[in-house]
Amino acid sequence: MNSKDMIPAAEVLDAQECWRLLREASVGRLAVIVDDHPDVFPVNYKVDNESLVFRTGTGTKQQALDAGIPVALEADRVSAEFGVAWSVVVKGRAVRATSTDQAIDAVGRALFPWQGIGKDYLVRIEPDSVTGRRFTLTPTTQWTTPLDDATRAGIE
């Protein structure tokens, strides 16, 4: 038996479970393309039906969103107490949300960005896909890292 046989397989989550988990979290990492390179920004978000809503201000992130290029948002959580972790990724397009709808007004009022000032734009990610995984954590006593020759020489 080799060490690969001892690694538990990740559980693939269905869309319903992904949305449930996204509702439990409030911070995700928004991935966008800026000047032909990927960039990542932390955002406070809320789930509104089966889309994500967050606030942003004028700047690099807003310019990237206005370009209409697809985005991704990843949220995750680790529970050392229960020995599990999960990660969910939502991919789609980000569009400015209009505040004419009472429901979106309520969601927008519930968002509290870390920098509350200047976050005037409400943005909705309209998903093309939602994927997720749940992992069983390996106890830290079982973590192993193979040493390469350079590392080994520094230890000896």
pLDDT band at residue 32 using 50, 70 and 90 as cut-offs: very high
Q: Measure the CA–CA gap between 70 and 115, rounded to whole angstroms.
A: 25
Q: Measure the CA–CA gap between 36 and 33, rounded to whole angstroms.
A: 6
What local confidence, expressed as pLDDT, does residue 63 receive?
80
Q: Residue 91: exposed, middle, or buried by beta-carbon count in 10 A (0-12, 13-18, 19+)?
A: middle
Domain spanning 8-155: CATH superfamily: Electron Transport, Fmn-binding Protein; Chain A (2.30.110.10)
pLDDT in tens, 76-106: 999 877 788 999 999 999 988 765 554 444 4
Q: Residue 114: exposed, middle, or buried by beta-carbon count in 10 A (0-12, 13-18, 19+)?
A: exposed
Two structure tokens written together for 43? 């955002």
pLDDT in tens, 33-53: 988 889 999 998 999 889 999
Q: Residue 61: exposed, middle, or buried by beta-carbon count in 10 A (0-12, 13-18, 19+)?
A: buried
Q: Considering the entire predicted model, what is its pTM?
A: 0.75
